[in-house]
Chains A and B, each alone.
Chain A
Amino acid sequence: DSGVTQTPKHLITATGQRVTLRCSPRSGDLSVYWYQQSLDQGLQFLIQYYNGEERAKGNILERFSAQQFPDLHSELNLSSLELGDSALYFCASSVVQAGGYTFGSGTRLTVV
């Protein structure tokens, strides 16, 4: 157990639907990062939050949004889902922005 908790582990949904992925960072970590990993691909940065504030955005689609709550957990919302959104979505956290990341076990999203 890395200390970063992601739920659900697996999600199967239909095109056009909306889903919410949840991440609880490791205790004490203020930074939360979301990454997308498509089949056999690298890790694509989506968005980062630090202590409740958005700090950086990657090539995140307008259909995707995220937030970090006062208790530091974060949610990634994916709407109007398309087949191409099928991927592993990882959340990671770190103590400081220059520290190593601790990744959660990921949510595998399948859009059918």
Chain B
Amino acid sequence: QQPVQSPQAVILREGEDAVINCSSSKALYSVHWYRQKHGEAPVFLMILLKGGEQKGHDKISASFNEKKQQSSLYLTASQLSYSGTYFCGTARIQGAQKLVFGQGTRLTINP
């Protein structure tokens, strides 16, 4: 039931682009994306809802393919501040009581 994220880790140079994927074997209602820096709390980035409604962050975009039950997070022209571990959290029904989080993708941005 836990979504699977890929890749597990990625290293980029500042200015490069990254794509992080999140896949579920079950039908989903919503996908959330969070970023966590080491030793800190996860911070909400974006939510994608079944039916295409999207809420989130201006500098980061994402997509949700309902047929494949897959979401992708797009980080363009990466900045040093983008470094951290990215988690997707999934909910299977509207008004779901909990999010099930993937194992995380560690993103390192080097100068």
Contact = CB atoms under 8 A, between A and B. Distances in A.
Interface of A: 2, 33, 35, 41-45, 48, 50, 55-56, 58, 90, 96-106
Interface of B: 2, 29-30, 32, 34, 40-44, 47, 49, 55, 87, 89, 91, 94-104
A52 to B, nearest CB: 14
Contacts of A98: 29-30, 47, 49, 91, 94-96
Q: Which 8 A-B pairs have the closest CB atoms?
A: A56-B97, A100-B44, A103-B41, A43-B101, A55-B97, A42-B103, A97-B95, A56-B98
22 contacts: A33-B99, A35-B101, A41-B103, A42-B2, A42-B87, A42-B104, A43-B89, A45-B100, A45-B101, A48-B97, A48-B98, A50-B97, A90-B41, A96-B95, A97-B97, A98-B29, A98-B30, A98-B47, A98-B91, A98-B96, A101-B99, A103-B41
Contacts of A55: 97
Contacts of B32: 100-101
Contacts of B2: 42
Given A98-B95, A100-B47, A2 B87 contact: no
B5 to A, nearest CB: 9
A58 B98 contact: yes
A45 B99 CA distance: 7
Nearest to B102: A42
Contacts of B34: 101, 103
Nearest to B42: A103
B24 to A, nearest CB: 14
B43 A103 contact: yes
Given A33-B98, A42-B102, A102 B44 contact: yes
B61 to A, nearest CB: 16
B43 to A, nearest CB: 7
Contacts of B100: 45
A42 B41 contact: no
